[in-house]
Structure 1
Amino acid sequence: MASLKDTLTGTGVALVTPFKKNFDIDYDAFKKMIDYVIEGNVEYIVVLGTTGEAPTLNTAEKKDIIKFSYDVVNKRVPVVVGIGGNNTAELLHDLETFPLEDAIAVLSASPYYSKPSQEGIYQHYKTLAEASPKPILLYNVPGRTSKNVEADTIIRLARDVENIKGIKEAGGDFAQCVKVLRDAPEDFLVVSGDDALGMAQIACGMQGVISVAGNAFPKAFSDMVRSSLKHDFKTAKSINDKLAGAYELMFAENNPAGVKAFLAEMGLIENYLRLPLVPLSEKYRLLVNAFVAKG
């Protein structure tokens, strides 16, 4: 199978899922978001991630979002679909029944809450990859799952399992990142899942970022990533410095409350989240408004 490095180097945006006041999915706003980030020159989009509030979406909604995304994207950029969780059997069913024909890959967060051993994580991913009709991208985000996928486990999966083609690494451990970049196969895609660390992690050898900030600032963020990939870190730092305040506000309370506050202030979506998430508190919302007003 071809390397995902050919198509997923650069910026991917983990898209938010806009909601209406009654908490139904706002498909008009969702179309607007897809067009906005593609026109901002990002390389690909990711749907049904944590930023998309996938844990609060039912199965029918997830399938509808996937199909809607394909239709709106219309092959302008690749689409990655998020399918992750801590019930391996349920995920196997999702891989079999979700409309994945037009996806380039499946992004799968490591099991949360259960806190499996490294062997359990290995067997979970191996089982998914062997059943998946599309390449699997691992997703290590211990801040959400409470369990790090260790470098040795990542490298073992990358070497042993043919259908595991890359990782979104959001653990923030640079020593682990360096080890993975050194020891994983040459065609194994390694991208950052931390907006604020993306530039530095690209300097270490990563091939891009799957971004939250790219929802609100697709052109600036993707320009920063492309400059970093070209080793033009003077330009990249100049852009990144301007975005640094936004990164802080986006994660001040939780994701995606922060980025949805930005998008609402920019007139792209309404500021609604499904419980247990709630909109950004007034203190931070005012700071978001000031950041947007400043331009």
Structure 2
Amino acid sequence: MTQFVGTGVALITPFKEDLSIDFDALERLVEYNIKNGVEYLVISGTTGESVTITSDEKKKLIEFIASVNKGRLPLVLGIGGNNTASIVSEIQGTDLSNIDAILSVSPYYSKPTQEGIYQHFKAISQVSPLPIILYNVPGRTSKNIEPETTIRLANDFENIIGVKEAGNNVHQYLELLRTKPDDFLVISGDDDLALGVALAGGSGVISVIGQGLPKEFSEMIRLGIAGKAKQAYDIHFRLMPITSMIFAENNPAGIKAVLNGLGISKIHVRLPLVEATLSLQKLINGELKKLGKS
């Protein structure tokens, strides 16, 4: 699964002022990331505002991104939720011919036990024709996938190939790296911790800020995986302020402000999210200027 080693980016869904999908901006975003060295693209994750995207829109997003990508990079599709039967049905009913893996978030709101989480992903594994990357983000789901559960799933199901770990918990990352099967991918979902995870033996990151600064961020991760800490941290320290800024209010409002500052897409988001405040936009634009991006 080396195609998922390095930097994947959790693509935003650009919107026009009327909140319809801005496909011209999406094409610019995809091309920008491909040309600047990311390793793979993630469609319809949290950063893509998946919870406010209709099933018809999701189908169009998959088709459009695949048509722009033209097979140049692997594509990962988010299919997850807290209704196991519904996820199974979506996997079975989705054209996955252009998709290389599924990213599936742990059930949210329902707060299942660890056994419930295990059985949920077992059911998904049994119907998925593609590799599965688990997504643990307890800050959004209210329930952590404990390392023991992740490793149990990794050992029991060949098509569960990795985890996007976004608990912002250094000890949990290290426990996963210590106990995982050799070929299991531990992928950072925390932009601020991604370099440390890569240096410790992780497989890279699925990033938010990476799509705004793909050249710099993906190079930092490659250096980290190669164990070149000094060069990697030189980049990390330059990117620290803007990485913090984009999460100051909500995601993806922050990264949309970055992409607006870069002239790639607009700042519009769908309710219940709201656009980045003018004060945050000003801070972000100032930081982009310091980085020589505006």
CA separation in 2, counterparts of 1:203 and 1:215? 21
Per the alignment, in what secondary structure is the counterpart of residue 193 of structure 2?
A: helix
Per the alignment, in what secondary structure is the counterpart of residue 165 of structure 1?
A: strand
Match of 2:232 in 1: 236
Shift of 1:95: 0.2
Shift of 1:266: 1.0
Pairing 1:55–2:78 present: no
1:18-59 deviation line (CA, Å, top 9, x unaligned) = 001111100010011000001110000000000000100010
Which 4+ residue blocks in structure 1 deviate beyond 2 angstroms? none
- Alignment of structure 1 residues 210-249 onto 2, 5 Å: 210-249=206-245
Match of 2:176 in 1: 180
Shift of 1:172: 1.7
CA separation in 2, counterparts of 1:68 and 1:122? 33
Per the alignment, in what secondary structure is the counterpart of residue 7 of structure 2?
A: strand
Question: Of the candidates 105, 115, 118, which is equivalent to residue 114 of structure 2?
Answer: 118
CA separation in 2, counterparts of 1:237 and 1:162? 35
CA separation in 1, counterparts of 2:259 and 2:127? 37
Pairing 1:157–2:153 present: yes
Per the alignment, in what secondary structure is the counterpart of residue 34 of structure 1?
A: helix
Match of 1:278 in 2: 274
Match of 1:43 in 2: 39
Pairing 1:138–2:134 present: yes
Match of 1:166 in 2: 162
CA separation in 1, counterparts of 2:287 and 2:104? 33
Say which is worse superposed, 233-242 or 173-182, in terms of deviation. Answer: 173-182
Could you tell me whether the CA contact under 8 Å between 1:66 and 1:99 is conserved in 2?
A: no
Shift of 1:93: 1.2
Pairing 1:197–2:193 present: yes
Per the alignment, in what secondary structure is the counterpart of residue 16 of structure 1?
A: coil
Per the alignment, in what secondary structure is the counterpart of residue 288 of structure 2?
A: helix
1:228-267 deviation line (CA, Å, top 9, x unaligned) = 1111111100101110001111100111000000101111
Q: What's the Cα RMSD here?
A: 0.8
CA separation in 1, counterparts of 2:171 and 2:289? 38
Could you tell me whether the CA contact under 8 Å between 1:51 and 1:212 is conserved in 2?
A: yes
Match of 2:204 in 1: 208
Shift of 1:293: 2.1
TM-score (norm 2): 0.97
CA separation in 2, counterparts of 1:38 and 1:153? 34
CA separation in 2, counterparts of 1:88 and 1:288? 39
